[in-house]
Amino acid sequence: MQRHRDKADRIENIVFDLATRLHILRRDGLTDHLFTTTLACKEFSEFCQLVPSEQEIKTLFVVPYEE
């Protein structure tokens, strides 16, 4: 357990960073979110689940049709 202590701190930092980004996520912030989650995914495979799929990204850019 002692040998993973530095990783626990790093994971906590990533989680807090992502939580802040998700709280204020807008279309213009999507690139930052993708960059952060991709870097986290490369470092810790568990974060790969947080990288949105292509379909999820497309959904964010759909403008509702108004008559």
- What are the tens digits of pLDDT across the range 4-56? 567 888 888 998 988 888 877 777 778 888 899 999 999 888 889 988 888 88
Long-range contacts of 15-20 (CB under 8 A, 24+ apart): 18/50
pLDDT band of 67, cuts 50, 70, 90: low
pTM over the 0.75 mark: no
How far is it, in rounded angstroms, from Cα 52 to Cα 37? 9
pLDDT band of 65, cuts 50, 70, 90: low
Q: What pLDDT does residue 63 have?
A: 67
What average pLDDT score do residues 52-67 get?
77
